[in-house]
Amino acid sequence: MSESRPAAVLVLAAGEGRRMKSRLPKVLHSLCGRSMVGHALAVAGELDPERLVVVVGHGRDQVSAEVTGQSPGALVVVQDQQLGTGHAVRMVTETLGDFRGTVVVTYGDMPLLRGQTLRELVDVHHAGGNAVTVLTATGDPAGYGRIVRDADGAFLRIVEQRDATPAELAIDEYNSGCYAFDGALLADAIKRVTTDNTQQQEYLTDVVGILRGDGHPIGTVLAADVAEIHGVNDRVQLAAARRALNDRILEHWMRAGVTIVDPATTWVDVTVTIGQDAEIGPQVQLTGATAIADGARIGPGCLLEDTVVGEDAVLLHAVCRQAEVGPGVTVGPYAFLRPGTRISENAHIGCHVELKNAEVGPGAKVPHLTYVGDAHIGADANIGAGTIFANYDGVGKHHTDVGEHAFVGSNSVLVAPVAIGDGAYTAAGSVITGDVASGELGVARGRQHNSHGWVERNRQGTRSADAAKRARSE
């Protein structure tokens, strides 16, 4: 086994998180496209450990399901009673046995932690031949255990805030709770942790003290960004972490050649990809597996979920879910692309148009005020304003085919199943219930009848009647 490859990464995710005030276990609250524990698993996976272990407790079934979904190879260990971080690690060693190699400990509520920080922790641990290496940070240490050093700067101990002297409280370097341990030494020391404290719990910090007392070398790594080691305990902290992570994501894409007009109102999931020279306008949310190609323009006012957008496409004030938008396509404003919608190159989807499970061919136009459901529209076809593809009969959904270069007149209703052939027309205002063959004009509407003198007879004394009388006399 490579020295740089940990024997295990342990993600502690058993806490209840009462301050979240939620039916959902704390670590399942999401930010930027993943649950908190999902972020922890992704970062742990960057180390390529021999074993990835997650300790669950509160909401174990839900958390276990999330773990399995995010990292199918991860092992789940149950901590029936939440009796401290040391107890959680002891449950792992008692369940899985001792680890030979480096064991990294992280947390399921620390979504801003970077893989590169853990990699540095492991590298320093190996280079120093340490029994344990502690990830620390500097800044406001309120609530955290202080890192106490000797006059030469060497690590002495970790002192919890409630036990610290005034001099120790003034120390601004503090413990993150993340560690790299020698697995064999950890397995021995964890058995010697006691509950001799005010909370009567087993703390992992005590393992550090035990190893130091045994004369083993202890090292530290200072986190470059203090935000990385902050846990999330309530929804205020969750919002702050979401903002920080989103800012990190946006910076990444801007440095990669993406224009983001208003970062303050733009939200992008970690799972999204964006091509060079794409432009993301204000008030845009890109979520899930959304992929934006080079040169596309998204926004203002767009929500894209699991949607693929081709090169140089333009989407304005659009909501798209599980849709495919081809190169050069224009969508919006105020269009809704529902799951299964596929728009081919250079097509146009206009104002107040909704599509569901619909395929629109190259160069076709659905300009405005139209519903298209369960349909295929051929290349260069034109769908007039106010058209309805009536796909549902109250029991089942049915399909409509519109051929290439066909023209559907305004305010038509196409009652599925029905086919409009290549080059065929439907007259405006028609209710089409039968197929229209290629090159035919389908007309399905009553003849117009004008009742002479109706207004003057039936609306006497109104302005309409006066105007009609005046026009007739002239």
Of the candidates 277, 288, 275, 280, the residue with the CA atom closest to the CA atom of residue 262: 280
* H helix intervals, 159-204: 166-169, 183-190
Would you call 337 helix, strand, or coil by DSSP? strand
Angle at alpha carbon of residue 85, lines to 235 and 72, rounded to 5°:
75
Note whether 282 and 299 are within 8 A (CB): yes
Report phi then psi at 260, rounded to 5.
-120, 110
Q: Which run of H or of E encompasses 425?
A: strand 425-426
**Pairing state between β 173-182 and 132-138:** antiparallel
The catalytic residue among 29, 87, 230, 368 is: 368
Report phi then psi at 472, rounded to 5.
-65, -40
Would you call 398 a catalytic residue per the annotation? no
CA distances from 378 to 75, 135, 268, 324, 405 (A): 51, 60, 34, 16, 7
Note whether 236 and 254 are within 8 A (CB): no
For 6, the token pair is 């940990």
Total Cβ atoms within 10 A of residue 274: 27
Report the distance separating Cα 319 and Cα 315, nearest Å.
Answer: 9
User: Which residues form the catalytic set?
Assistant: 368
